[in-house]
Structure 1
């Protein structure tokens, strides 16, 4: 892939087949995780009557999902008060369904605009924003799974099983960066 370029009122790029397969596979995995979380949400009779959905009051156990769906209220990690825990639970219950909808929506936009076999892509600025959000979610998920920190070297020894995945993480960072640059030209 060459970097994203701005062409009039759109941004364009060409993805090789393997690149498209990587992006589609990772975006699909994130979408599947988020969809499963949404489907596991409690069913509320009041929500059926009012149309106001509620989500789970507890954060995900999976660290990757936890990174994608962080707490809506900052807790003291050493000694959270009952009031703070209650606030965090209430805010999660109220806002997580909308966050899930937004994240699943941008993932589906990427899957709908990225040809399965690669090729030319032309995105409106709105579609490009969806791509940025979805790429960010994929990078957060992959970074969490790989335990990417400031201390992690840019390259890992070939013997480290994370090495090829870290290369994908860096490539996705580049894809996202060139898209931002194209949008801000």
Structure 2
């Protein structure tokens, strides 16, 4: 991948076959996780009649999904007020379906615009912003899985099972940073 560039109103990038497979594979995995979470939403007759969807009222157990779908209201871990617990659950239930739609939607944009066999990617401004959001979600998921910390070295010892994946994380960071430069440019 060369740096992203802009030509007229289009944002351009080029991925080789392996790079496209990595991007598509990771975006697909995140999208699948988010869709599975959406399927956990309670089904009720009122929601079907009104069209107002509700989501789960409890945060995901999976640490990656918890990172992608954080609480909408932070509770005091030392002394949670019952009213705060109820409001956090209500906020999650009301807003999580829309957040899931947005996150799966941006993933869909990446999958629709990243050629499976590699090649040129041509994005509108809106599609480029969707790529930024989807890449951010992938980096959050991968960073959580790898337990990336601020003081983590750029490279891990070769015998560390996270070492090859950390390289992918750094590459995705670079892809995202160069895309930000062009979008903001």
> Shorter chain as normaliser: what TM range?
over 0.9
Deviations 1:136-172 (A, max 9, x none): 0000000000001112111100110000100000000
Kept in 1, the 8 Å contact 2:57–2:89? The answer is yes
SS of the residue corresponding to residue 156 of structure 2 reads coil
In 1, Cα distance between equivalents of 2:19 and 2:130: 18
Structure 2 gap ranges (5+): none
Equivalent runs, 1:38-117 vs 2, <5 Å: 38-117=38-117
Counterpart position of 1:137:
137
Structure 1 gap ranges (5+): none
SS of the residue corresponding to residue 57 of structure 2 reads coil
Counterpart position of 2:37:
37
In 2, Cα distance between equivalents of 1:138 and 1:17: 19
Length, aligned pairs only? 185
In 2, Cα distance between equivalents of 1:76 and 1:174: 36
Compute the displacement of 1:183 (Å). Answer: 1.2
Kept in 1, the 8 Å contact 2:71–2:88? The answer is yes
SS of the residue corresponding to residue 6 of structure 1 reads strand
Kept in 1, the 8 Å contact 2:129–2:183? The answer is no
In 2, Cα distance between equivalents of 1:21 and 1:78: 45
Compute the displacement of 1:79 (Å). Answer: 2.5
Equivalent runs, 1:99-178 vs 2, <5 Å: 99-178=99-178
Counterpart position of 1:5:
5
In 1, Cα distance between equivalents of 2:41 and 2:17: 36
In 1, Cα distance between equivalents of 2:26 and 2:79: 36
SS of the residue corresponding to residue 137 of structure 1 reads helix
Superposition RMSD on alpha carbons, in Å?
A: 0.7
TM-score (norm 1): 0.98
